[in-house]
Structure 1
Amino acid sequence: MTAERRYHRDKDAVACVLEDITLLYHRASGQTHMMISPVPEILDALDEEADSTAAQLHALLERHYDLGEPEQAIAEIEAHLESLTALGLVCRS
């Protein structure tokens, strides 16, 4: 895990919440992505605090959710951020 990496959300996406699934249409790629928790919550946290590290997002999310062991939760947030970066939905700062 690289705690120093900073991320921000690509604003070129439109979200639609359908019960337990969030659809995210990414205009730049023309793709629609189906997401379930915790991905929408991570994206919402990035909206709240752009240019954040996984540890900073953990601190934000921890206010609302029981995330368990911090070290493991931060590693999982980082993994989600890397996946979202590969899709073009999140960018590294």
Structure 2
Amino acid sequence: MEATQYYRVDTGDAVLSCPLDDIVLLYHIRSGQTHMVISPVPEILGRMADGAPVCARDMCDRLAQDYDLGPAQDALAQIGDHLDALVALGLVRAA
């Protein structure tokens, strides 16, 4: 993960979400795949819903407004890893 890599989600109804207790099912319409995710993935995607590009540091700042993320460097690395994994799944794309 590069600190300056930006990510974005497709706006609209590209992914349908269905919360089930502690997991969330995400149905990606274009691929026809359903993904089961847990926190912090739904929170990350929720803060990307406006479609504007965001880097890992920006996402860390957004999440820190509502959650205790622990040590900043660890949180930044983990959020970057989550964003890269979301790209690999096709739920997020590099901007």
Does the alignment reach a TM-score above 0.5?
yes
Inter-partner Cα distance in structure 1 for 2:54 and 2:2: 12
Q: Give the structure with the larger helix fraction.
A: 1
What is the 5 A alignment of 1:1-93?
A: 1-11=1-11, 12-48=14-50, 50-93=52-95
Residue 46 of structure 1 and its aligned partner are, at CA, apart by 1.2
Q: Report the RMSD for the aligned CA atoms in angstroms.
A: 1.2
User: TM-score by structure 1 length?
Assistant: 0.94
Q: How far apart in 2 are the matches of 1:77 and 1:48?
A: 18
Per-residue deviation, residues 3-27 of structure 1 (Å, max 9, x unmatched): 1000011341111111111100001
After superposing on structure 2, the runs of 4+ consecutive aligned residues of structure 1 that deviate more than 6 Å are: none
Q: Determine the C-alpha separation between the residues in 2 that align with 1:54 and 1:91.
A: 13
In structure 2, C-alpha distance between the alignment counterparts of 1:48 and 1:55, rounded to whole Å = 17
Corresponding letter in the other structure for 2:3: A
* Aligned sequence identity (%): 47
Which consecutive residues of structure 2, in runs of 5 or more, have no partner in the other structure?
none
Instruction: State the aligned residue count.
Output: 93
TM-score, length-normalised on structure 2?
0.92
